[in-house]
Amino acid sequence: MSNNKIILEGCIKVFEESNDIDLPQGEVFELFALTQIHKHRNITYENIQHSIVDGSNDGGIDSIMVFIDEEYVENIDDLENFNFSNKTTSHFILSQCKKENSFKESPLDKLITTLPILFDLEKSETALLSRFNADVVNQAILLRGIWQKTAISGGKIIVDYIYTTNAPEIEINNVFEQKLDQLNTISRDIFSTPTIDTHLFSSKELLSLYQSHKLNRLAIEFKDKPLYADFEETGIGYIGMVKLAKYKEFLTAENGEIRDDLFESNIRHFQGLVDVNKKIKHTIENISSEDFWWLNNGITIIAEEPKEVGKKLSIENIQIVNGLQTSYSIFNNYNNDTKDNRSVLVKVIINKDKEITDNIIASTNSQNPVSATLLRATEQVQRDLELYFLNEGYYYDRRKNYYKNQGKPSTKIFSIQYVAQSIEAIIFDDPHTARARPTSLLKSETTYKKIFDATKNFKAYLTSCLINKKVQNFLSKYDDLEMKSKVSNFKLHMSCIVVKKLHSKKDISFDEIVNINLEDINADLFNESIVFLITQIELYLEKNTGTNLINIAKSKDFTEYLFDQI
């Protein structure tokens, strides 16, 4: 065994133990590989798990990730948050992760066969389900929808294929290379885009990625020594002007792309060429007698551990909480003109208190119209839930990737959306809505207040999440691949059934969830529940011709039928 492979095995073991992962080794390798390959992206462990579609009838695809302007998209329900234009870039990543000692041609052969069928826009959802498992079809339908919207708006489409093994190094022959070319040619014909690429990762590349880290400390250079101010015991701040060229330099990563991780605590992503950004773009591109900061609200940064040397301020744990649109506009449009002395106003607040940080995020964005959903994380009930989870040894990720960036175990981190889905499914008997429209749970004021009720016992929130995790863990180890594939769209239904079977009744109260002993949710109960679910799915499909696995998973009628059989 090569040194690369021996060391990588040790790294995977550390990853497995530090994240409390209890899965077959092939699936651990898959999670490890996808985590390393995408560590530079602003995605969560839940996003990676959601992207995995492998199993029986997977068409040779292990993971499908869909991004719009580098923002991960999980559900069709999310598309209303995006404005498609000729500036939109949609990025589709299809991955194969094999714990094998070499790169083989057979995975490429499967893709070459699968792609023309899976992405034939004339094929219906039902037709695809006759060939592929429901997870593959779900992600493919999402990809197809975004692909069409992007193409119609004149945007850019990027397709990447990733093939990963734990071979010591990348060693391929001429036939393999020819099949890579064939795959790229087929993809260019299907998606009508020249931007197609394939990426191979062996133990050597994975080890390199594992050893790389996001740069945690950066220096920003002001035009003059920044103004320093402190406020009692709360914190200190710096205010000053930063030349546009220096600010763009601060934003630029080693690979020439924008440091997207600096914006993980911002309440929204780049909105493209909406009206305000068109005006910023025009101001940047047209030098006049007016300084840039005269016409712009500037940038607010929250950071820690400041070290000031002359005009430079070195800081750690940097988050740009206001000024994302300005930052992206400067990065995308500033041409580094050496004669241009214009500056942007930058405020740097040194603070570690999460509640103060939330108040800063909310107040610095209050002057612009912002969806209430984006500000949920700052509400008191969310802070209280976070504290409760912390006290119990878990992490409530009300601000995306906050705990991931601190290196907390991925399997102990729960997002707002995951908690909302768990409560809506298990406590309110609505797994179909939680599965089909997860974003709507946070957008609807009525539903949000019903789910996040500060008068309820918070133990039920954590218990519901842990029930979901335990059920999904049992499912991941289930031996019957055909049955496993059939229930892949019914994970939330499974959690509901397990709880109802545990209590031997249909209606479960909030207090009964609080008092559940998680040790009682065991393999025997899971096995009984999955057989029950499969039986009811098959009976329902027989009685309701014209339906399929995907649309009944989203159906209230099926949920009511299912629970009536308990």
116: left (phi > 0), else alpha (psi -120 to 50), else beta? alpha
- The pLDDT, as a whole number, for residue 271 is 52
Same domain (yes/no): 32, 156: yes
| In a shared domain, residues 361 and 391 | no
- Alpha-carbon distances, residue 290 vs 242, 344, 345, 510 (angstroms): 15, 12, 14, 61
Same domain, 417 and 557: yes
Q: What are phi and psi of 259, to 5 degrees?
A: -75, 85
Residue 367: per-residue pLDDT = 47
CATH number where 204 lies: 3.40.91
pLDDT tens for each residue of 484-523: 888 988 999 999 999 999 999 988 888 899 999 999 999 9
Do 305 and 418 lie in one domain? The reply is no
pLDDT of residue 276: 61
d(CA 228, CA 238): 5
| Final residue of a structural domain among 157, 181, 211 | 211
* Size of the chain in residues: 566
Per the structure, the complete domain to which residue 450 belongs is given by: 374-564
Residues 140 and 272 both lie in one domain? no
412 with 315, same domain: the answer is: no
Residue 256 pLDDT: 83
The pLDDT score that the predictor gives to residue 29 is: 95
Label each residue of 186-251 as H, E or C: HHHHHHCCCCEEEEEECHHHHHHHHHCCCCCEEEEECCCCCEEEEECCCEEEEEEEEEHHHHHHHH
Number of domains in the chain: 3
Distance CA 72, CA 415 (A): 14
User: Rounded CA gap, 313 and 246, in Å?
Assistant: 12
At residue 538, the pLDDT reads 94
Q: Which stretches of the chain drop beneath a pLDDT of 50?
A: 366-373
Domain boundary, last residue among 338, 370, 402 = 370
Instruction: Looking at the structure, tell me whether residues 294 and 422 fall in a common domain.
Output: no
When the pLDDT of each residue in the chain is averaged and rounded to a whole number, the result is 88
Q: Are residues 363 and 386 in the same domain?
A: no
Identify the pLDDT of residue 453. Answer: 92
Radius of gyration of the chain, Cα coordinates, nearest whole angstrom: 25
Note whether 397 and 264 are same-domain residues.
Answer: no
pLDDT digits (tens, 9 = 90+) for 136-164: 999 999 999 999 999 999 999 999 999 99
What pLDDT score was predicted for residue 263? 78
CA angle centred on 112, ends 111 and 113, rounded to 5° = 90
Q: Which of 370, 393, 426 is the last residue of a domain?
A: 370
- Amino acid, single-letter form, for residue 137: V
Same domain for 379 and 366 = no
Residue 204 sits in the same domain as residue 247: no
8 A C-beta contact, residue 203 and residue 5? yes
Sheet with 343-350: strands ordered across: 217-221, 312-322, 299-309, 343-350, 235-243, 227-231
CA neighbours within 13 Å on the CB side: how many for 71? 20
The answer on 445 and 347 residing in a single domain is no
